[in-house]
Structure 1
């Protein structure tokens, strides 16, 4: 098992339901060491760049006279490549170290972003080139993502604090990315946005190159074939009932709630209140995510998954307000609460995985988590339109609110999930 995260005050008895928390400040720990500072910068610029891509594609392709479906295909190919290759990314990160794979992934995506920047600045690249480069970027993201989870326990003396800090900056960069891309497109063109995106890959690669990590006992150890390593990862995954239990429940949530929520919210709010209101709504959600991360800095649950599940009750509040046609100020409040709830859950979940799964299997475990969640969310998004056309958008959102409550109940009813202790 990984070394325990930085500890706070002594043990606190659990409240009924096992969600007792410590509200005092954590014990001092040198979180902002050299490696964590480099990792923090790398993640901040990476999320900023990722947030710019949809706006840049939309502006570049629509501005060149291509239909809206071209934007969907470009983004869809990125998602498909990511979902297909992320499991391989987890195995390769365990074989060759996460740091090397993240540097390789940044260098793989850098030339494509530069090429998109140049071609969009000069006019418009052919669609086949856009689709090919978007697919390569998705493969690069799949090689990169598994290493994020396994690196944090190696550089942070307090894993929960690290996850909370990173969640705050990621929420802020998620809001800043589209805004910056829109500004660059307005002042210059889509090529400028892709040029900045390319620069974020370069900065990230430099940061990871400068990091100095102590070798693990498994580094350089003999490994089996790629297939046997994936099979071993699957056995590790199945042996932890709390881990696969959460992911199994989460696939239902992604299919029925998280997947449909984004496109249905966009269609409903934009159609009834305009695109400006939808933009403010997304900003409210981002602000809520930042606050959720700050709460995770302060609250240190004895049963992290149980506490995170209780926090998830903020999500159906948002869906109820949307489905009930609440006034715009209440929609903003609901989005804020939902963002905070989801961010707090993510910190608890990430911390639980990173502190309970052995370091030499962590990349593969994270890859299974990401692949399962992403695939079902993608299916949910694809089905949301046809289902809403039959049942109605508001009705689907209200049904999602009910399912979200049932998801929380399921998480709390499964004993290995409810009782998983804080390390």
Structure 2
């Protein structure tokens, strides 16, 4: 699976710095995601409602600021300074370091929710800017695909390592120390991006008349592709389920019958291991109808929820998470390839921001209602309903003729149409 990677690219100093920054950031984030869920549940008197509140407060700012983060990422002369500021804010402005202190002292839930919201805002500004960082670092277009592959291996490895260690640390030493590790990773990442920015000249930026005009142009391009907006609507429901299962319902059931944080960490590790394999497999796939296959594979997101709903034993849940991980990265690789083929390069950042906003639109609501519903009906029933929601969303998306027929020849439609006309 890794034989096709070109590790010779790591001879480039700036790419090495970028790979190191991404490795450290993802490693720490793996600690943070597990520590927050189990940290809130471990607070005296904590309820599923409290965890729903914290996770929803973390998700809402990503919706509020992600579009402006995309516009800002295209307008600033140095994306490196922007991501340095956001990583410093995540660590030094008390987002995660503050949460670590609050978990250590049993701090009030409202303050934990406020700091989680601040952390969500930094992610909204960081993620769109990061999309353009590879372009700034790897100037040769022929090297970018191989560079992205190397970075994917780096981040997946970091996620696997982080989740494996996080479960052990949370179980043995508590969530506060795990969140302190996360805060330290943000600080180290900020330093690495700062060094990388000093080694990269500022880029000329051409300002449009207004940010709102930029967004309107991006929206027109987005709605011009039926397969894209249908998939975005489908993923809004699927990701609402995925986030609720990963952040709330899964940890609740892991605490009830699987053994706690260490067991849930193993489930997350199995999922990421599947994603590594899925990405490698998807790189070799050449389906005639890529979005049809991608949409069908999205149904794999129902598998962990279904297995947890019936309280399957841990080995079965791990196998289900592994299969889900494979199917999920097949979906993501094929979807991203179609996006790059069908959307003009000059609009792809804004279109990606709109897609991200749509995909995350229902995540806060899912997190907000999952806890109260689980408290009333039980997590098993809500898990079963979540699995059913994924299957229904996939079925509705498959009604789109555009999704079922989008060709996989790698040519954008504006190039295929003239060719078809001349053949006729």
Superposition TM-score tier, normalisation by shorter sequence: 0.7 to 0.9
RMSD: 4.0
Cα deviations across residues 5-57 of structure 1 (Å, max 9, x unaligned)? xxxxxxxxxxxxxxxxxx99869696544443322222222122222224444
Q: Is the Cα–Cα contact under 8 Å of residues 54 and 113 in structure 2 kept in the other structure?
A: yes
Residue number among 62, 67, 92 corresponding to 1:82 in the alignment: 62
Where does residue 119 of structure 2 map in the other structure?
A: 137
- In the alignment, which residue of structure 2 is the partner of 1:396? 385
User: Residue 301 and residue 195 in structure 1: after superposition, are their counterparts in 2 closer, same or farther (change >3 A)?
Assistant: same
Bigger mean CA deviation after superposition, 356-365 or 288-297: 356-365
CA displacement at 1:176 relative to structure 2: 3.4
Structure 2 unaligned regions, length at least 5: 412-424
2:211 paired with 1:223: no
Q: Counterparts of 1:269 and 1:132 in 2: how far apart (Å)?
A: 26
- What is the match of residue 254 of structure 1? 239
Determine the C-alpha separation between the residues in 1 that align with 2:117 and 2:187.
Answer: 19
In structure 1, what is the Cα distance between the partners aligned to 2:135 and 2:404?
Answer: 22
Tell me the alpha carbon deviations over residues 314-363 of structure 1, each in whole angstroms, 9 at most, x when there is no partner: 44555555556655433322211011110222223234435654455333
What is the rounded CA distance, in whole Å, between the counterparts of 1:120 and 1:92 in structure 2? 32
Q: Which residue does the alignment assign to 1:281?
A: 267
Choose which of 22, 31, 39 in structure 2 pairs with 1:43.
Answer: 22
Q: 1:85 to 1:259 in 2, by over 3 A?
A: same
| SS of equivalent residue, structure 1 residue 392 | helix
- Aligned residue for 2:398, secondary structure, equals helix
Mapped to 2, the partners of 1:383 and 1:234 lie a distance apart of 30
Provide the TM-score with structure 2 as the length reference: 0.75
The 1:237–1:308 alpha-carbon spacing in structure 2 relative to 1, beyond 3 Å, is: same
CA distance in 2, matches of 1:214, 1:241: 39
1:332 aligns with 2:283: no
Aligned-partner Cα distance in 2 for 1:190–1:164:
32
TM-score, normalisation: structure 1: 0.76
- Is 1:366 matched with 2:352? yes
Cα deviation digits, residues 211-240 of structure 1 (max 9, x gap): 555776xx3213323333332332332334
Change in Cα spacing, 1:365 to 1:53, as seen in structure 2 (3 Å) is same
Q: Structure 1: 5+ residue runs without aligned partners?
A: 1-22
Q: Cα distance, 1:296 vs. partner?
A: 3.4
Shift of 1:89: 0.6
Q: Determine the C-alpha separation between the residues in 2 that align with 1:395 and 1:181.
A: 28
1:108 to 2:108 alignment: no
- Supply the distance in 1 between the matched residues of 2:8 and 2:201 (Cα, whole angstroms): 17
C-alpha distance in 2 between matches for 1:395 and 1:122? 34
Cα distance in 2 between the residues matched to 1:115 and 1:315? 32
Q: Distance in 2 between matches of 1:37 and 1:196?
A: 22
What's 1:309 paired with?
A: 295
Mapped contact 1:25–1:298 kept (Cα < 8 A): no
CA contact (8 A) 1:253 1:407 kept: no
1:414 deviates by 1.7
- Counterpart residue number, 1:94: 74
- Distance (Å, rounded) in 2 between the aligned partners of 1:205 and 1:336: 32
Whole-angstrom distance in 2 between the partners of 1:228 and 1:72: 36
